[in-house]
């Protein structure tokens, strides 16, 4: 009885499965970092917190805090789902024989995190206005712009790391030749 072994074609290492997995992991981890640090530890805002006299969800009542806790929980669950999906796709990529370097995967994670910041910053902070980075301040625009700038920097750095690993993604393998080029490979 003959067995068939599936292998990834040469030059097909980090595309597109590993790329999608890395970006999804970055989106989810960026959401979890935002929720844990800004919502829970620093308590700068919640998902539906708005501030001021015209606020729909001021932080001044227990009922509104309960509602915001629910929305924060749903937000965390969504971010966690992105992480689980990213891990599943990464596992499938490895099982299919695809590979990526630590540099490429780190770049994809950073780019995903930056994309989260840009999407959340534009949609929630600017377009919908459901909250701002610092809802407890009278003029939160500077914090919102800083959040968007951080997202842009994360995307630029992440894409630069990912692209700098182009030779490895195009088939440079680990071993003496790969090590001589400074490329450590992982089975991802």
- Split into its structural domains, the chain has a count of 1
| 149 belongs to a structural domain | yes
Which of 143, 141, 130, 138 lies closest to 49 in space, CA to CA?
130
Whole-prediction pTM: 0.77
| 2 belongs to a structural domain | no
Cα diameter, the chain = 76
Confidence of residue 13 (pLDDT cuts 50, 70, 90): very low
| 159 belongs to a structural domain | yes
Query: What is residue 137's predicted lDDT score, i.e. its pLDDT?
Result: 75
Confidence of residue 146 (pLDDT cuts 50, 70, 90): very high
| 181 belongs to a structural domain | no
Range of the domain at 95: 17-48+56-168
pLDDT in tens, 164-182: 987 654 554 444 444 444 4
**Angle formed by the axes of helices 102-120 and 141-164, nearest 10°:** 160
| 177 belongs to a structural domain | no
pLDDT in tens, 68-89: 889 999 999 999 999 999 999 9
Query: What is residue 14's predicted lDDT score, i.e. its pLDDT?
Result: 47
Query: What is residue 186's predicted lDDT score, i.e. its pLDDT?
Result: 47
Rounded to 5 degrees, φ, ψ at 185 are -110, 145
Residues 150/152/155/159 CA torsion (nearest 10 deg): -130
pLDDT in tens, 91-125: 999 899 888 889 999 999 999 999 999 999 999 88
Q: How far apart are CA 102 and CA 117, in angstroms?
A: 23
């Amino acid at each position: 009885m003959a067995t068939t072994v599936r292998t990834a074609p040469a030059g097909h290492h980090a595309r597109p499965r590993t790329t999608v997995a890395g970006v999804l992991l970055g989106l989810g981890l960026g959401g979890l970092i935002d929720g844990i640090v800004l919502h829970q530890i620093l308590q700068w805002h919640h998902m539906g917190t708005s501030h001021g006299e015209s606020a729909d969800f001021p932080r001044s009542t227990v009922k509104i805090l309960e509602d915001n806790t629910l929305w924060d929980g749903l937000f965390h669950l969504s971010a966690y789902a992105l992480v689980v999906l990213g891990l599943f796709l990464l596992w499938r990529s490895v099982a299919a024989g695809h590979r990526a370097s630590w540099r490429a995967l780190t770049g994809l994670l950073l780019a995903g995190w930056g994309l989260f910041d840009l999407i959340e910053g534009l949609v929630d902070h600017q377009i919908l206005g459901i909250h701002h980075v610092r809802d407890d301040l009278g003029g939160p625009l500077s914090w919102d712009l800083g959040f968007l700038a951080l997202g842009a920097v994360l995307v630029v750095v992440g894409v630069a790391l990912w692209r700098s690993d182009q030779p490895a993604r195009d088939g440079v393998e680990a071993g003496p030749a790969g090590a001589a080029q400074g490329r450590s490979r992982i089975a991802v």
